[in-house]
Amino acid sequence: MAVSSVFDMRFSPEAAEEGVDLALAIGADMPATAGCTGYDVIRDLADPGHVVIVTRWNSRSDGEAVLGSYYQDPKITRVTELLGEVPTGFLGELADKSSRDPVS
């Protein structure tokens, strides 16, 4: 089952450019890891410090293995300094109406 990870970060105006650069570098690291099938870094047009990283994985275990160990990377340390907290995200799957239980 293909899954995606989503990390939503909001950098201050003073840290926006560095934050976006870090997000791009983090995304670019992922394709070299086992199970990653691609990534996107999305910057909010209305808020240049608001960035979302979406990575795609072959399986949940592929994503969990990489993302769990990646928190040791110096780029994440710097993102944490800029945000004032460790970035959080989640692994998920595309919501498919046909796979859900019908609403009673």
Q: Is residue 10 part of a domain?
A: yes
Dump pLDDT digits (tens) for 43-68: 999 999 999 999 999 999 999 988 88
Average pLDDT, the chain: 91
Summarised one tens digit per residue, pLDDT across range 80-99 is 999 999 998 999 998 876 65
**Which residues 6+ apart lie within 8 Å of 83 measured at CB?**
9, 10, 11, 19
In a domain, 63, yes or no: yes
In a domain, 102, yes or no: no
Question: Contact 39/56 with Cβ under 8 angstroms?
Answer: yes
User: Which one, of 88, 23, 76, 31, lies nearest residue 57 by Cα?
Assistant: 31
Per-residue pLDDT of 70-82, as tens digits, reads 888 999 999 999 9
Residue 4 predicted with pLDDT over 90: yes
The reply to whether 31 falls in a domain is: yes
Q: Quick count: other Cβ atoms within 10 Å of Cβ 37?
A: 14
Question: Considering the domain boundaries, does residue 14 fall inside one?
Answer: yes
- Domain enclosing residue 30, as ranges: 3-92
Is 104 or 49 the better-scoring residue by pLDDT?
Answer: 49
Number of structural domains in the chain? 1
23 is a domain residue: yes
Within a domain: 76: yes
CATH, residue 22: 3.30.70.100
pTM of the model: 0.86
Does residue 54 fall inside a structural domain?
yes
What's the confidence (pLDDT) of residue 60? 94
